[in-house]
Amino acid sequence: MPLLTPDSFPELPDWTPDPAADGELKWRLYEKVVADTQDKYQDCTVIRDHRLMGVRSGVTRQIDVWVTGEVAGHEIKLAIECKLYKAKVDIKTVDAFIGFLEDVGADKGVLITTTGFTSGAEKRAKAAGIDLNVMTLESAMETDWGEYLGESCKTWVGCPGNINWNYSEGGPRFGTCDHCGQLHIECSGCGHQDEYDVARDSSIGNLHVRCKGCNCCFVVGVEKGDVTDISTCTRHKRHS
């Protein structure tokens, strides 16, 4: 068998994003965020291709879309970044993004990628305790960014927390309050949002809860005490 050397491997073509397509995407995303946030919160400011001095690094940082404003009495700073990679985003990119959010002083961060995360990257993002959502470009354009900013915890009157949503394709979305940790579910059928008590200390299994708006059934997946996914139960019809 011949000895394999670096020179014997076929040369792979470099992949670089199309600058025109990249610019068009970020411009359309910016317009969507402006429309959604200002429709609900007139005091929000949205800046495209924003630059500011890093708090820790002391160097100028660039942000694709930067949103600031006061929502429900709380100051919000949101950084949205587009990563048009060919492969899945890896743990090094997540580490860099987490450090980036800390450096620019963002309260929330959204990393948009066409390919998703590696498993290690997903675990790193979860362990960091940062509101980090990854979505396809299509779902980003369909997202109501005004709701993303302004949805507050419904657990108890006066809770200052906001809900960190996880997005799912066509199904109910779920998230936890960044202050008290309570689970919230938004029904994909009627759009009702509310907090739900589930056995978060369960080691593994599927739990069933009902929408408080239309009474349809949700299946809540739990693994090692954490809610991993939520879907609509097909075995239970809605009750009027």
The pLDDT assigned to 237 comes to 45
Res 68 pLDDT > 70 = yes
Among residues 123, 88, 89, 230, which one has the least CA distance to residue 166?
230
* Alpha carbons within 13 A on the beta-carbon side of 76: 32
What confidence tens digit (pLDDT) does each residue in 109-165 have? 888 887 778 888 888 876 665 656 677 778 888 888 887 676 666 665 446 567 777
For the chain, helix, strand, coil in percent to 5 are: 25, 35, 40
Domains and CATH numbers, the chain: 16-150 (3.40.1350.10)
Among residues 197, 184, 198, which one has the least CA distance to residue 154?
184
Retrieve residue 169's tokens: 């394709």
What confidence tens digit (pLDDT) does each residue in 157-185 have? 446 567 777 755 567 878 888 777 788 88
Of 198 and 14, the structure prediction assigns the larger pLDDT to 198
- Give me the mean pLDDT over the 49-54 stretch: 94
Query: What amino acid occupies position 223?
Result: E
- Report d(CA 78, CA 58) in Å as an integer: 20
